[in-house]
């Protein structure tokens, strides 16, 4: 009889736990969060909800920080970027954050993170091509060509190395 009672209690607990879990999954507010608000207020509301949904994901937080940073709220954006950098960030995060800085012309900050990412993985030919192209776009052609040469030496058949080089020489920022 004891075994039956234990099994029944375990099943009841499992059922209750599953029910609580489903109840906790509430749909997001969607457009009601933003409707009727001035654009900036609606944007901030959307970003706050995105931050909630990001659940600490670094890529997502970098994109949210980018939106704040580029919209003029650099303090909020920088705080979010700092949180990513002070956490368990990796070279892909450093590249993404460097791109944000590059986009706003903060080249010293961009360079620091680009170089940090390249140092973490010196065989990353895609990273070398990207940073090489960035150097060319920022008027540092010699440094850029040196990195592009490394990228091509490692993989001369990568279409994106050529695209990056072409964009850089033509003054086109990557998308």
Domains and CATH numbers, the chain: 38-121 (1.25.40)
- Rounded CA-CA distance 132/79 in Å is 28
* Nearest C-alpha neighbor of 173 from the set 81, 100, 65: 100
pLDDT for residue 49 is more than 80: yes
Per-residue pLDDT of 99-137, as tens digits, reads 999 999 999 999 999 999 999 999 999 999 999 999 999
* 75 against 28, higher pLDDT: 75
- Rounded CA-CA distance 171/136 in Å is 8
Per-residue pLDDT of 76-105, as tens digits, reads 999 999 999 999 999 999 999 999 999 999
């Amino acid at each position: 009889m004891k075994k039956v009672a234990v099994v029944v209690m375990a099943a009841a607990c499992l059922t209750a736990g599953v029910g609580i879990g489903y109840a906790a999954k509430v749909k997001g507010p969607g457009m009601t969060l933003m409707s009727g608000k001035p654009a900036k207020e609606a944007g901030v509301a959307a970003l706050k909800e995105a931050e909630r949904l990001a659940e600490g994901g670094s890529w997502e937080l970098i994109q949210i920080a980018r939106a704040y940073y580029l919209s003029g709220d650099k303090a909020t954006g920088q705080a979010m970027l700092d949180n990513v950098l002070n956490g368990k960030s990796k070279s892909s995060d450093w590249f993404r954050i460097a791109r944000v800085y590059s986009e706003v012309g903060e080249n010293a900050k961009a360079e620091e993170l680009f170089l940090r990412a390249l140092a973490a993985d010196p065989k990353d030919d895609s990273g070398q091509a990207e940073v090489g192209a960035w150097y060319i776009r920022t008027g540092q052609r010699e440094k850029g060509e040196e990195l592009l040469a490394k990228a091509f030496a490692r993989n001369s058949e990568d279409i994106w190395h050529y695209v990056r080089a072409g964009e850089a020489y033509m003054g086109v920022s990557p998308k």
